[in-house]
Chains A and B, each alone.
Chain A
Amino acid sequence: MADATAGDGIAPEENRSASGLLLSADGTPLKNSIARAERRARIRAFLLILPLLAFVMVSFIAPIADMLFRSVENDIVADTLPRTVVELQDWDPASGVPGEPVFEAFYADMLDATEAKIHTRLGSRLNYEESGMSSLFRKTNARRLGRIDDTQPLAPQFEKIDEDWATVEPWAILKTFSARYTPGYFLQAADMKLTPEGVESVDETQQIYIKLFWRTIILSLTITCSCLLLGYPVAWLLANLPMKSANILMILVLLPFWTSLLVRTSAWKVLLQEQGVINDILVWIGLVNDGARLVLINNQIGTVIAMTHILLPFMILPLYSVMKTIPPSYLRAAKSMGANDWVAFWRVYFPQSIPGIGAGAILVFILAIGYYITPELVGGTSGTFISNRIAFHISTSLNWGLAAALGSLLLILVMGLYWLYDKIVGIDNVKLG
């Protein structure tokens, strides 16, 4: 300690504890003192972001976790028919219809289930795997079960309720889907299915999801490209026009943001349909024969046009903010060195605008890949996305497990493409401004 005051205009010697730790003036380890001094600031900073953190947890992380969980969750069979599931473990579908112990367990389970009125729910769940399960369980209701005499063999009496109970199929389905977690939804989302014999791909007439995923990716890429082609010159104008004109142009770019998505999409319907404005004009100026009007809507063209329009600002704004930072002297320098307009643009200006292209393209692509309202309204059958099927399974078929699996695949797909982008372009090369 004496050393600390010994210095005379020279920096005092460092305080060190016996173990060599740096000590502060009052003898506590320096690290502790720093931690104490910074703790308050850190707590305050944490409190500031706490509302956001809570919001993100509740509105973002939790739903995603829930979705991922739902895509594999399959408690319903084991919860509704606990005894049957145990009995079915030792049963081999190849040996034919299960024996009496299974029927006894099933009878007991169904008595409980029908009383709780949850047997039809199980039927709906199993119907996703095999058509007919829904009505089989609905028929096996409390009234019919009440007529069963449990002193007699049960199998024939179940056969009387519905002859399907005397076949292997429903039991095989029950056994296949008795586990609490199932890959079934994910398999369905990849046009495959889980059968008692194992995983097989579904009939060709029922394959849709792989195709839809492909279409979603390809259309989203098309939309991203057309946004880039249309947005790049506009962004360039925005960045290079004098302030006054640029402001007016900026308002025009932002205008779509201030109009409802539905209104804009409906406007496209009016414009694009066969008796619509665009076709009328083309016919009027004689470019198109009245009998051969262009089909611009209810197909992929409609989806690409409408979504390009809707997503264009998301391309223009990042491009603009990057272009704004490119000094005009670069182009001048290139020209002074003998490059013509095109070479100067392509070799000097364009490479420097790539971070903006990256940011805009990622933004547009990710927004496009999850869009569903616009494709639903203008996409007809060939211009719809995977998200339209997800919406269908959420609101119409109620097959939330499949919807969750499709959603999870979409999430994985986007993350995979993001990773690929990082590998190829580098995510550091993305600038929003």
Chain B
Amino acid sequence: MRLTNLLGGTALAMTAAAAAGAISAQELPACEGCADSMTIVSWGGAYSNSQAKAYHEPYQELTGIEIVNDESSAEAVAKLRAMDEAGNVTWDLVDVVASDAMRLCDEGLAMEIDADADLAAAPDGTTASEDFGDLLVSECFIPQIVYSTTFGYRTDVAEWGGKTPDDICDVFDLEAFPGKRSLEKRPINNMEWALLCDGVAKEDVYDVLETDEGQAQALAKLATIKDSVVWWSAGAETPQLLADGEVVMGSTYNGRLFALIEEQKQPVAMLWDAQVFDLDGWIIPAGLPDDRKARVMHYLNFATDTQRLADQAAYISYGPARKSSAPLVGKHAELGIEMAPHMPTDPENSKNTFLYNYEWWADYRDDMDAKFQSWLLN
């Protein structure tokens, strides 16, 4: 089934590419002095597949170069640091989440980018920096997608008496919605949700969280459901736990939930309240030799243009990072359903979103993590 899906997907992708007819070999500028192979690091699974379909395959068709895929994004930061210490960076382009990109940038392990000079402008001439806007959260980071961490819940829980959760605070309501929940085994997001549901206003969350009292308050709120929580550390866990009926609701990346609901047809629905936006995108390792750097820049210019980002949304339910890509988002390449309503950025879904403060977490991550782990232990 998987294979036929893949084949069907390829065929559809071809037609989609043909219909969009975005770029022919003549239009793609030649690459002078570029390496003829590159190693791209990403997350693997459906996400890597969407990138291969939307970026790698068209680019390879146009240039004939070799792209080596490495599925190491989960350990990218540590591996890049190790490679840097060994003086032998073998990766050319690495897909990471925004917070990791900031960390790599701070550590001097990622190359700084000049968005307007290095990236393509929108078809209407809007500069890249304006098209990406606020999403350029680090000087080293080229965003690809907006994803969100949000909740899914089972629609067949008898004890709920027909009610379904529609508010983030229902996660903390064990009386109305009994059953186990899965939450990520780290403080990020959980602390913010806890404060939101403990009466803290959205705009005050990080100010409160900066104080010892605020942290204690958040942990105290989490403690009310601690016994009913299964803690996950890999994104695939919550969908599996939901499918097995091990938990009745759980947080994970919205794309995982989309696959669970639309592709695997599990009795699960999305809770689009207080979803936390996050970004995923590219960084280029610092200190690449010239030919490899030239190849990466050439590829990036192609792969992060308006059409390519929109193409990716045909394979996975993550929103393109460019404003100009949004209107071009079409149907799912295999399921044939409109993708726009499944995007975290869709107005229906993003009535109440939460903005994640990268700067704050970069400062407090270590401290909060120690406290959170200590709290988990007790």
Chain A contacts to B: CB under 8 angstroms: 117-118, 120-121, 123-124, 127-128, 131-135, 138, 202, 205-208, 211-212, 273-276, 298, 376, 380-382, 389, 394-400
In the complex the two chains form, what is the Cα distance from A206 to B371 in whole Å? 5
Asked if B331 lies at the interface with its beta carbon under 8 angstroms from chain A, I say: no
Q: Report the minimum CB–CB distance from A169 to chain B (whole Å).
A: 13
When C-beta atoms are compared, the residue in chain A nearest to B364 turns out to be A131
Binary interface encoding of chain B residues 343-378 relative to chain A, with 1 for a CB under 8 A from any of its CBs, else 0 = 000000000000000010011111101110111110
With A135-B362, A275-B246, A389-B373 as contacts: A395 and B103 at CB distance below 8 Å: no
B333 at the A interface (CB under 8 A): no
Known: A131-B367, A134-B363, A298-B231. A398 touches B103 (CB 8 A): yes
Q: Verify if B191 is at the interface (C-beta below 8 Å from A).
A: no
Write the B226-241 contact mask toward A (1 if CB under 8 angstroms, else 0). Answer: 0000110100000000
* 16 further contact pairs, Cβ within 8 A, besides A132-B364, A212-B377, A395-B77: A117-B108, A117-B112, A132-B363, A134-B106, A134-B363, A135-B359, A135-B363, A202-B370, A273-B246, A274-B246, A298-B231, A381-B185, A381-B377, A382-B377, A389-B373, A398-B103
1/0 per residue B70-85: CB within 8 Å of A?
A: 0000110110010000
CA A138 to CA B137, docked complex, whole Å: 13
B341 at the interface (CB under 8 A from A): no
Partner of A134, one of B77, B362, B374: B362
B27 adjacent to chain A (CB < 8 Å): no
Inter-chain contact A398/B77, CB cutoff 8 Å: yes
CA distance A206 to B366 in the complex (A): 11
Minimal beta-carbon separation of B119 from chain A (angstroms): 21
The 5 A-B residue pairs with the shortest CB-CB distance, nearest first, are A120-B106, A395-B78, A131-B367, A381-B376, A206-B370
Q: B230, A138: Cβ atoms under 8 Å?
A: no
Q: Which residue of A is nearest B231, CB measured?
A: A381
| B78 touches which of A124, A298, A394 (Cβ 8 Å) | A394
A124 adjacent to B106 (CB under 8 Å): yes
| Inter-chain contacts of B74 with A (CB < 8 A) | 395
Interface bin, chain B: 35 or more
A274 to B377, CA, bound (A): 22
CA A353 to CA B8, docked complex, whole Å = 63
* A-B pairs with beta carbons under 8 Å apart, 10 shown: A131-B366, A208-B370, A211-B377, A212-B377, A298-B230, A389-B373, A395-B74, A395-B78, A398-B103, A398-B107
In-complex Cβ contact of A138 among B78, B106, B367, B373 (8 A): B106
A398 with B185: CB separation less than 8 A? no
CA distance A248 to B81 in the complex (A): 48
Question: Which chain A residues border B369 with CB–CB below 8 Å?
Answer: 397
Nearest-Cβ distance from residue B214 to partner chain A, whole angstroms: 13
Given contacts A120-B105, A138-B106, contact A275 B245 (CB under 8 A): yes
Complexed CA–CA distance, A287 and B366 (Å): 45
Enumerate chain B residues within 8 angstroms of A205, measured Cβ to Cβ.
215-216, 371, 374-375
Instruction: Select the residue from B112, B216, B363 with max chain A CB neighbours within 10 A.
Output: B363
* Bound CA span A398–B75, Å: 10
User: A131–B103 contact, CB under 8 A?
Assistant: no
Q: In whole angstroms, what is the CA distance A381 to B244 when docked?
A: 20
- Write the chain A residue with the least CB distance to B365: A397
Q: Which of A133, A206, A400 is the one whose CB lies under 8 Å from B374?
A: A206
Is B374 in contact with A380, judged by CB distance below 8 angstroms? no
| Shortest beta-carbon distance from B284 to chain A in Å | 14
Give the complex CA separation of A128 and B103 in angstroms: 13
User: How distant is the Cα of A117 from the Cα of B77 in the complex, in angstroms?
Assistant: 18
A137 vs chain B, min Cβ distance (A): 8
Of A138, A207, A380, A398, which contacts B231 at CB under 8 A? Answer: A380
The reply to whether A376 and B246 contact each other, CB–CB distance below 8 Å, is no
Query: With the chains together, A400 CA to B77 CA distance in Å?
Result: 12
Contacts of B371 in A (CB 8 A): 205-206
With both chains docked as a complex, state the minimum distance between the C-beta of A6 and any C-beta of chain B, in angstroms. Answer: 71
A205 to B233, CA, bound (A): 22
Q: Which residues of B contact A131 (CB under 8 A)?
A: 363-364, 366-367
A298 vs B183: C-alpha distance in the bound complex, in angstroms? 13
Q: Which residues of the other chain, A, contact B103 by a CB distance below 8 angstroms?
A: 124, 398
Q: Across the interface, name the chain A residue whose C-beta is closest to B370.
A: A206
Given contacts A134-B363, A208-B373, contact A118 B246 (CB under 8 A): no
Residues of A within 8 A of B180 (CB): 274
Complex CA distance for A121 and B78, rounded to whole angstroms: 14
Give the one of A138, A380, A396, A399 with max B CB within 10 A.
Answer: A396
Contact of A121 with B107 in the complex, beta carbons under 8 Å: yes
Give Cα distance in the complex from A118 to B103, angstroms: 12
Residues in B whose Cβ lies below 8 Å from that of A389: 373
A128 to B362 CA separation, bound complex (whole angstroms)? 11
Query: Would you give the shortest CB distance from B89 to chain A, in whole angstroms?
Result: 16
| Smallest CB gap from B79: residue in A | A395
Query: What CA separation (Å) do A148 and B374 show in the bound complex?
Result: 43
Contact B108 A398 (CB under 8 A): no
Residue in chain A with minimal CB distance to B182: A298
CA distance in complex: A208, B168 (Å): 30
Q: Assuming A376-B233, A381-B231, is B377 touching A127 (CB within 8 A)?
A: no
A residues near B81, Cβ cutoff 8 Å: 398, 400
Bound Cα distance A207, B372 (Å) = 10
Bound state CA distance, A398 and B371, in angstroms?
17
What is the CB-to-nearest-CB distance from A130 to chain B, in angstroms, rounded to a whole number?
8
For A124, the chain B residues whose CB sits under 8 A away are 103, 106-107
What is the CA–CA distance of A127 and B361 in the complex, to the nearest angstrom?
11
CA–CA, A283 and B230, complex, Å = 22
Q: Residues of B contacting A117 with CB < 8 Å?
A: 108, 112
Q: Which residue of chain B is the closest to A211 with respect to CB atoms?
A: B377
Q: B373 near A120 (CB under 8 angstroms)? A: no
- Residues in A neighbouring B215, C-beta threshold 8 A: 205
Of listed A121, A206, A400, residue having the most chain B CB within 10 A: A206
A contact residues around B75 at 8 Å (CB): 395
Q: Evaluate contact between B231 and A399: CB separation under 8 angstroms.
A: no
CA distance A380 to B365 in the complex (A): 21
B166 smallest CB distance to A (angstroms): 26
Which residues of A are found within 8 Å of B185, using beta-carbon distances? 381
B359 to chain A, nearest CB (A): 6
> What residues of B have a CB within 8 angstroms of the CB of A202 in the complex?
370
Q: Which residue among A117, A276, A400 has the maximum number of chain B CB atoms within 10 Å of its CB? A: A117
A127 to B107, CA, bound (A): 12
Contact assessment for B78 and A128 in the assembled complex, using a CB-CB cutoff below 8 Å:
no
Alpha-carbon distance A323/B75, docked complex (angstroms): 45
* Nearest-neighbor residue (CB-CB) of B180 within chain A: A274
B366 near A127 (CB under 8 angstroms)?
Answer: yes
CA distance A376 to B185 in the complex (A): 11
Closest Cβ neighbor of B375 among chain A residues: A205
Given contacts A131-B366, A134-B363, contact A121 B374 (CB under 8 A): no
CB closest chain-A residue, reference B76: A395
Decide: B244 and A273 in contact? CB cutoff 8 A: yes
CB proximity to A under 8 Å, residues B179-225: 180, 185, 215-216
